[in-house]
Amino acid sequence: MPSDSSDAQGMSIVSKADRFLTALAEHGPQSVAALARLLDEPVSSIYRLIGNLERIGWVEKGDERGVIRLGLRIVGIAQSVEDTLDIRRLALPELMQLRGRTGESALLCVRRESRAVCIERVAGGEVQSSELPLGGSMVLHRGAAPLAILAFEGEGFRRQYLDRVIADAVNPLTEYDQRRLASTIATVRESGFAVSDGDVTPGGLSVAAPIFDHRGIVVGSLGISGLSALIRAADYEPSDLVTDAAHRVSESLGYRTGGAPR
């Protein structure tokens, strides 16, 4: 086990990196000398820190000689976090409204590489479905919320994803599965929503619709999940509720009706 001293040293390095990145974020690109003054650190320590952070892409050389700025990788991470927080903030009222109207669990998912991750969930009162718990993930070709994302991803991504799934060594798709999935994706794209009826959880039904940003790019999905018998016997149409809710979140993100999703 690591000693207390090594733990303390590790935290000291993390703390210095945090102060360094915060200084660049607040003050913009800076010279080594300016960073040393801002952080009250020796120039030699700043050079070592720059070397380490530059190797992982968190900082890079600026346009002017001797100037350091935030790297594209850390900017991309920050943008990803900001986008996720925006979607969660905008979607939560819609999830609460769906939960209140249906009594079922309402969830929000985003894509992380080849999986859909549930980043917000309002639990239903009747059934605590475990199909996609908060923080849980699922492959993109199973379940309504993942399918609602996959169907509206770009054609290139969909093709690469399907190629990987077909070639999967553990559980590859059969030719029949491939044809059925292609048909399902076409149906989802045409209707604007996805349905999963007992194919993930026996007796469970989930319905989800995609969320688009201002560029018309799919950035997530929103839906409800519960017992099939209860949802089918209810006095509401689940596809209408989820598509309307997802559309309102998309509009809040700058998407306009008529802007063709990519």
The C-alpha atoms of residue 202 and residue 187 are separated, in whole angstroms, by 22
Q: For residues 37 and 66, give the distance between their C-alpha atoms in angstroms, rounded to a whole number.
A: 15
- CATH label of the domain that carries residue 12: 1.10.10.10
Final residue of a structural domain among 24, 43, 70: 70
- Domain count across the chain: 2
- State whether 148 and 242 are in the same domain: yes
Residue positions counted in the chain: 262
Does residue 259 lie within any of the structural domains? no
Q: What is the pLDDT along the chain (262 residues), one digit of tens a residue?
A: 555 555 555 557 788 888 888 888 888 889 999 999 998 999 998 999 899 898 888 888 887 788 898 887 776 676 666 566 688 999 999 999 999 999 999 999 999 989 999 999 998 865 555 567 888 899 999 999 999 999 999 999 999 998 888 887 677 788 888 899 999 999 999 999 999 998 888 888 999 999 999 889 999 999 999 999 899 999 999 999 999 999 999 999 888 876 545 5
Burial class (CB in 10 A: 0-12, 13-18, 19+), 153: buried
Is residue 221 a part of any domain in this protein?
Answer: yes
Cα–Cα distance measured from residue 138 to residue 110, given in angstroms and rounded to the nearest whole number: 11
The domain in which residue 21 lies consists of 4-70
Spatial contact of 209 and 148, defined as CB atoms under 8 Å apart: yes
Statement to judge: residues 229 and 167 lie in one domain: yes
